[in-house]
């Protein structure tokens, strides 16, 4: 086997890269295919095989491993497109994700925002109250069981949440990282009633002190775990059918990689995996060029990510903040906003222009794609402003329709918004002016 392949699946495009033992490099780009992102990845491999000059099966058959970075989990959390999750926690502690240790008012915010504390607000809770159940049990800080797990009430809580239609269970009990027995037993009880239900345990995902970030980490991982599982399973099978006998690895936010079979159980670790790969590449390139301090950015279809190399190494953190929620898992420090090329512009009830976090993605994509997109995006604005070349998009394989955007009056020099008086959200006429001003 002589090839190594790298794949980056974004919300809008999928990029592929290959190198062989002689040092040759090849690249390809293909539109992403939500919600079946594996099709976009396989299409990108086909494009890559064409660049190499071999068949897809021959390329895969000669590939030792595929290292796969994806924004699927990050985009899902940024946009709120996540699985419906039930939250099981120790009795008396169901309000922890609402209280947020006050962190929710300032986490991830700048100093100017924090100074105006009276005008700050918390984000919506990760799980609504109707999907939370308290479990009778208690373990102390030494890991000793003070109150045994009430299995009868636990089974009832599981039944109730299944009746609510939850797709996964996030289990985070007090001091479980000292003694995970109760969490492990709850997983067994869930499997008895719903063998296919996804289960995330805090004792495995974030075995650290501090209740609130441990809860957040467990819930968020459980919210995206089912989607990652349902994506990787058929992808692995399809690659095998096409002749791939190597290892499929998924990049982690910490800078490492995990086997695809294990990745869904550690879904939260894949957050920021795309920029992580870029940062590692920037570090290596910077070392060759003599640069030890680098700013690395990744502008995707849904998100805009920024990371830094300081003194020759990526800046890392034991926690990160996403949507004002603190995630407790080690990863390369990445700042993320929902303002990629497909980010949709809209006006709030106060008449303020907003961009993202909702994205047009690859389907239907920006209006200029001509795929029945009806809402203005950053790409549409860039096209009208002349920043994007309509004839050289995707290497000239995809033409962008500037006139279509103008005809639909999505981008206009006049600031107006239908429905603003009623407080509804809708398409923005005036993105061109706003984009020019912000630039």
- The token pair at 400 is 């962008």
Q: Which helix (H) or strand (E) holds 232?
A: helix 211-241
For residues 297 and 415, membership in a common domain is answered with: no
For residues 303 and 199, membership in a common domain is answered with: no
Cα separation, 203 vs 186, whole angstroms: 12
What's the pLDDT at 236? 93
Paired with 18 in beta bridges are: 5, 26
- The number of residues in the chain equals 439
Residues 304 and 323 sit within 8 Å (Cβ to Cβ): no
Cα distances from 191 to residues 150, 151, 196, 327, 415, in angstroms, run: 17, 13, 7, 26, 55
Instruction: Using the structure block, give the residue that is written with the tokens 């009868």.
Output: 152
Q: What angle do CA 169, 171, 177 make, to 5 degrees?
A: 150
What's the pLDDT at 225? 94
For residues 195 and 125, membership in a common domain is answered with: yes
For residue 325, the enclosing domain spans 291-337
For the chain, how many structural domains are there in total?
4
Digit-by-digit pLDDT tens for the chain (439 residues) are: 589 999 988 777 888 999 999 989 999 988 888 778 888 899 999 999 999 999 999 999 999 999 998 777 877 887 788 999 999 999 999 999 999 887 877 787 777 777 776 777 788 899 999 999 999 999 999 999 999 999 999 999 999 999 999 999 999 999 999 999 999 999 999 999 999 999 999 999 999 999 999 999 999 999 999 988 988 898 999 999 999 999 999 998 888 889 999 999 999 998 867 678 888 888 999 999 999 999 988 877 777 888 899 999 999 888 888 888 888 888 888 777 777 888 898 888 888 888 888 888 777 889 999 888 888 999 999 998 889 899 888 778 888 998 888 876 665 543 333 333 333 344 444 333 333 323 2
Is residue 278 assigned to a domain?
A: no
Is residue 283 assigned to a domain?
A: no
For residues 29 and 146, membership in a common domain is answered with: no
Residues 6+ away with beta carbon under 8 Å from 28: 15, 16, 44, 45, 47, 48, 50, 51
For residues 180 and 301, membership in a common domain is answered with: no
How many other C-beta atoms can be found within 10 angstroms of the C-beta atom of residue 247? 14
Helices 181-193 & 151-163 angle (0-180, nearest 10)? 50
Cα distances from 420 to residues 139, 431, 438, in angstroms, run: 53, 15, 22
For residues 12 and 36, membership in a common domain is answered with: yes
Out of 220, 248, 263, a domain closes at 220
Per-residue DSSP letter, 278: H
Is residue 308 assigned to a domain?
A: yes
Is residue 119 assigned to a domain?
A: yes
Out of 220, 236, 251, a domain closes at 220
- The token pair at 240 is 């095998």
Cα separation, 261 vs 4, whole angstroms: 19
Judged by DSSP in three states, 20 sits in strand
Cα separation, 45 vs 50, whole angstroms: 9
Whether this prediction's pTM lies above 0.85 is answered by: no
Residues 260 and 232 sit within 8 Å (Cβ to Cβ): yes
For residues 326 and 252, membership in a common domain is answered with: no
Cα separation, 68 vs 16, whole angstroms: 9
Is residue 216 assigned to a domain?
A: yes
Cα separation, 369 vs 215, whole angstroms: 41
Out of 337, 367, 392, a domain closes at 337
What's the pLDDT at 80? 82
What's the pLDDT at 65? 94
For residues 56 and 103, membership in a common domain is answered with: no
Cα separation, 178 vs 285, whole angstroms: 42
Instruction: Using the structure block, give the residue that is written with the tokens 């539109």.
Output: 31
For residues 180 and 112, membership in a common domain is answered with: yes
Using alpha carbons, select from 279, 292, 218 the residue that is nearest to residue 252: 279
Residues 332 and 316 sit within 8 Å (Cβ to Cβ): yes
In terms of Cβ atoms closer than 10 Å to its own Cβ (0-12, 13-18, 19+), residue 184 is middle
Using alpha carbons, select from 227, 264, 253 the residue that is nearest to residue 72: 227
Residue 31 is part of a domain; what is its CATH number?
A: 3.30.420.40
Is residue 286 assigned to a domain?
A: no
For residues 116 and 247, membership in a common domain is answered with: no
Per-residue DSSP letter, 361: T
For residues 363 and 423, membership in a common domain is answered with: yes
Classify the phi-psi angles of 102: left when phi > 0, otherwise alpha if psi is within -120 to 50, otherwise beta. Answer: left
Judged by DSSP in three states, 204 sits in helix
For residues 188 and 311, membership in a common domain is answered with: no
Cα separation, 287 vs 25, whole angstroms: 20
Is residue 285 assigned to a domain?
A: no
Is residue 279 assigned to a domain?
A: no
Cα separation, 431 vs 378, whole angstroms: 9
């Amino acid at each position: 086997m002589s090839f190594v392949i790298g794949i980056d699946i974004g919300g809008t495009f999928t990029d592929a890269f290959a190198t062989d033992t002689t040092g040759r490099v090849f690249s390809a780009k293909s539109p992403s295919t939500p919600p079946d992102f594996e099709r976009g990845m396989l299409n990108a491999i086909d494009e890559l095989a064409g660049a190499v000059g071999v068949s897809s099966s021959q390329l895969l058959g000669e590939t030792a491993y595929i290292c796969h970075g994806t924004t699927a989990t990050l985009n899902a959390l940024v946009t709120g497109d996540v699985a419906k999750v039930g939250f099981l926690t120790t009795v008396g502690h169901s309000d922890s994700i609402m209280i947020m240790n006050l962190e929710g008012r300032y986490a991830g915010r700048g100093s100017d925002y924090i100074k105006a504390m009276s005008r700050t607000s918390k984000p919506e809770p990760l799980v609504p109250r109707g999907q939370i159940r308290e479990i009778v049990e208690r373990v102390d800080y030494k890991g000793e069981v003070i109150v045994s797990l009430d299995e009868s009430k636990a089974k009832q809580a599981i039944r109730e949440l299944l009746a609510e239609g939850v797709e996964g269970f996030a289990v985070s009990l007090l001091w479980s990282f000292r003694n995970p027995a109760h969490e492990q037993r709850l997983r067994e009880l869930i499997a008895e009633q719903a063998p296919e239900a996804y289960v995330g345990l805090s004792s495995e995902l974030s075995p650290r002190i501090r209740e609130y970030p441990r809860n957040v980490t467990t819930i968020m991982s459980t919210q995206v775990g089912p989607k990652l599982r349902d994506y990787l399973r058929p992808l692995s099978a399809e690659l095998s059918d096409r002749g791939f006998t190597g290892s499929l690895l998924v990049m982690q936010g910490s800078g490492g990689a995990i086997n695809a079979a294990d990745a869904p159980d550690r879904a939260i670790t894949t957050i920021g995996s795309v920029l992580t790969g870029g940062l590692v590449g920037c570090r290596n390139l910077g070392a060759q060029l003599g640069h030890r301090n680098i700013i690395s950015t990744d502008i995707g279809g849904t998100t805009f990510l920024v990371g830094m190399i300081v003194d020759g190494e990526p800046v890392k953190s034991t926690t990160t903040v996403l949507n004002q929620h603190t995630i407790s898992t080690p990863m390369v420090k990445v700042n993320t906003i929902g303002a990629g090329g497909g980010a949709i512009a809209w006006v709030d009830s106060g008449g303020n222009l907003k961009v993202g976090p909702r994205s047009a993605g690859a389907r239907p994509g920006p209006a200029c794609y001509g795929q029945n997109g009806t809402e203005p995006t950053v790409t549409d604005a860039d096209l009208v402003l002349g920043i994007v070349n309509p004839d050289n998009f995707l290497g000239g394989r995809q033409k962008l329709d500037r006139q279509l955007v103008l005809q639909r009056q999505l981008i206009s020099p006049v600031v107006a918004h239908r429905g603003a008086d009623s407080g509804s959200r809708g398409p923005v006429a005036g993105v061109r002016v706003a984009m020019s001003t912000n630039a």
